[in-house]
Structure 1
């Protein structure tokens, strides 16, 4: 961080500059060469110019008219110069500022950086209210914070290390390029912003070792691909890591929101769009299940949207508790739950009449069926051919003894 010398911490001090016109012309020419925005150029011509005249150091003090003529050399003296030295009150000092002094050019460059960084923020329309000393102090404060954060693992985002892959409305999925020399720096930025271990390197300066080394090494060697869901300001909201197999297929390794938590609801749809666009194998890892999404033969979708009987069966076999989230479970799935975890049906009444009949003693344990009424076994639209009351009673007794 460069230190800005001798800031005047109030406004603009009473001082005159012998070469004020030259200073203003230099500001304008440099701004035009850079192609600054109109608002930035106007600020520089106003506030930075006033700062150079009033506060900037180093500045050469002009005590006599001879001093002034020496400094001016072949340049003509301004008309007001004689009047300045003839006045009795000389409390307002006169200085000459080198228009090409490195400290001057440095301050101008960092102020342009400060002003440009406010583009698109609420502060953009209020720049004229901030004088130059205030802007310089804000710049110093922010860069001191950056030094502290860098020591804690922070890095600035590196656009050269990113490739846009899927656009989802206001958000974009970007891939961290494995062959980029800035990959590790971008991993460090992702990790710092998201507060997880992806880019947590043991050596934060060299970006080596630790958790970050594992992920970086895997990505650099083609065994893993790393993706980030970014907003229009470049802020990450989901980090996605995918294991790459020899046949080119990808399995989701992790899907993380901030602080290693599951991403929040507002990012579920962008995640689904991203996963379906990128393509994965048929596995649904725990991170995705925790978010309420699952891989089906038709692609990634919310659990509530899964309607295919085979997809439902595969899901419930592995995660029985997700049965309650299916909007329209198939009869096969209900029979599966009845056989393996019948208590789940106490909370979700079966839609299949045959299953409701088979587990009626579970659904309403305080009102067991009347086995003396043979008609009971041919109701609910389900025919029970050849099932007598005695036979039914025997089945229920057997179930009671084996539970």
Structure 2
């Protein structure tokens, strides 16, 4: 489906840039499915399908620029529809240079899902306020700017206050050598106060209520209601002195399974690396499903069938293949990728080999055009004849014969 977003503003400004999305239907379908799975309010879902969708088409980066039919077919995994050929033909004319560009946006990339999550947080916090009926007047760039402004203001306000921790609102779930994993009890009368304490120390919006005395409204209201209604479970990873260092939120699915939603360090930053080993113990104790959120991928922790592991520790070939098939960017983090994984990367994103060259000789030869430029050898070396792929059975006499033939050909 050909969709053009009108407007002249560049991305991240006040409007939507003019672009055509090759996979517009896929982007919209993904938004609708995720919104339905979350149980978003109708006005939130409507806003996402309008403004967030237009933002993805017009502004979102990274977006892959499509300039040929071959590129379009590769991105779609099938022959492109007729309108694509017409668009590319028109774009190639000198008189049509102002035609909106054609792009393909990866619908499952972590930055896209993370941006959608913060927008849902922003929109949900408006429910029950005077702004609730005016959401459609706020476009996506404006909403993102408001979210950033409000979080900056929250950080400033948090410096001016203090909220005492309430141990009665906590339930110990796991004790490691140096840390304790607490769950915030949904039935506790002090739940919201403990959420406010967690936010004060961690500098994030979990317990940031619009009314700090009544502990109601704002971003905190959304999280508090979700915990109270047992649609979400919140855990606090704390040291022996009771100071939080990581906040973990899980979504409770309709069938009771648990999906890790967020794993945040202080100020919404990734957790500090020295906590990773204990964090893995905690995640494995929660018996979550197979989903890995962007927060965990960013710090190199993934969910496998064997449990939560550091990416570098995933050594089983089958587990590696499943991991890279789902998260191609993780190939570079594997210590010893299997040949199957390298063939998978070669078929889908061979450009990754510019960062980490494959180990399998057969894969090296298959994608020799990718990394042959990086091999600098003298013309007299036999390896140069095979474009960097070693051929141990090639005798020196054979190499000399080929070199002589090449010289005559030139």
Q: Output the CA distance in 2 between the equivalents of 1:381 and 1:158.
A: 69
Question: In 2 relative to 1, CA 320–151 (structure 1 residues): closer, same or farther, beyond 3 Å?
Answer: closer
Distance in 1 (CA, whole Å) between partners of 2:202 and 2:370 is 47
Structure 2: distance between partners of 1:289 and 1:212:
26
Who is 1:89 aligned against?
A: none
Q: Secondary structure of 2:261's partner?
A: strand
Cα distance, 1:361 vs structure 2: 2.9
Q: Which residue of 1 aligns with 2:152?
A: none
Task: Tell me whether 1:301 sits opposite 2:316 in the alignment.
Answer: no
1:354 and 1:382 in contact (8 A); partners too: no
Aligned: 1:342 with 2:339: no
Return the alpha-carbon distance in structure 1 between the equivalents of residues 226 and 161 of structure 2.
20
Alignment length, in residue pairs? 232
2:193 equivalent in structure 1? 185
Q: Which of 201, 205, 216 matches 2:209?
A: 201
Alignment of 1:77-156 (within 5 A): 152=160, 154-156=162-164
- Once the two structures are superposed, what CA deviation does each residue of 1:208-259 show, in whole Å capped at 9, x if it has no partner? 1111111110000110101001111110000001001122210011110000
The DSSP-based 3-state class of the residue aligned with 2:168 is helix
The answer on whether the counterparts of 2:264 and 2:271 sit within 8 Å (CA) in structure 1 is yes
Q: Any unmatched runs of 5+ in structure 1?
A: 1-147, 384-403
Q: By how many angstroms is 1:362 displaced?
A: 2.2
- 2:243 pairs with 1:235: yes
Q: Could you say which residue in structure 1 is the equivalent of 2:264?
A: 256
Aligned to 1:316: 324
Distance between the aligned counterparts of 1:290 and 1:180, measured in 2?
33
Residue 276 in 1 paired to residue 284 in 2?
yes
1:67-100, CA deviations, whole angstroms, 9 ceiling, x for partnerless residues?
xxxxxxxxxxxxxxxxxxxxxxxxxxxxxxxxxx
Q: In the alignment, is the contact (CA less than 8 A) between 1:238 and 1:258 conserved in 2?
A: yes
Contact 1:224 1:242 in 2 (8 A): yes
What do you get for the CA RMSD once the two structures are aligned?
Answer: 2.8
Equivalent position of 1:292 in the other structure: 300
In the TM superposition, residue 315 of structure 1 has moved relative to its aligned partner by 2.4
In terms of mean alpha carbon deviation, does 172-181 or 313-322 score higher? 313-322
The match for 2:367 among 359, 369, 375 is 359
Shift of 1:380: 4.8
Task: Tell me the distance in 1 between the aligned counterparts of 2:370 and 2:297.
Answer: 28
Asked if the contact 2:205/2:219 (under 8 Å) is kept, the reply is: yes
- The separation in 1 between residues aligned to 2:157 and 2:365, in whole angstroms, is 64
SS in 1 for 2:312: helix
TM-score by structure 1 length?
A: 0.54
Q: Per-residue deviation at 1:382? A: 10
Residue deviations 1:294-340, cap 9 Å, x none?
Answer: 00010001111111223222322333222111011111110111122
In structure 2, stretches of 5+ residues that fail to align are 1-155, 394-410
Residues 290/376 of structure 1: CA separation in 2 closer, same or farther (3 Å cut): closer
Rounded to whole Å, the distance in 2 between the matches of 1:382 and 1:357 is 14
Tell me the CA shift for residue 153 of structure 1.
5.3
Q: Is the 8 A contact 2:195 2:207 kept in 1?
A: yes
- In structure 2, C-alpha distance between the alignment counterparts of 1:151 and 1:348, rounded to whole Å: 44
Contact between 2:158 and 2:200, CA under 8 Å: does it hold in 1? no
- The CA distance in 1 between the partners of 2:309 and 2:252, in whole Å, is 22
What SS is found at the alignment partner of 1:229?
strand
Residue in 2 aligned with 1:13?
Answer: none
Given the superposition, is the C-alpha separation of residues 337 and 203 from structure 1 closer, same or farther in structure 2, using an over 3 Å criterion? same
- Preserved CA contact (<8 Å) 2:158 2:203: no
1:342-374 deviation digits (Å, cap 9, x = unpaired): 22213322111211121223222367999xx9x
Contact 1:353 1:381 survives alignment (8 Å): no
Deviations 1:184-224 (A, max 9, x none): 00000000010000000011000011111111100001101
SS of residue paired to 2:224: helix
Distance in 1 of aligned mates of 2:363 and 2:157: 60
2:174 aligns to what?
166
The structure-2 alpha-carbon separation of the partners of 1:338 and 1:194, relative to structure 1 and needing over 3 Å to count, comes to same
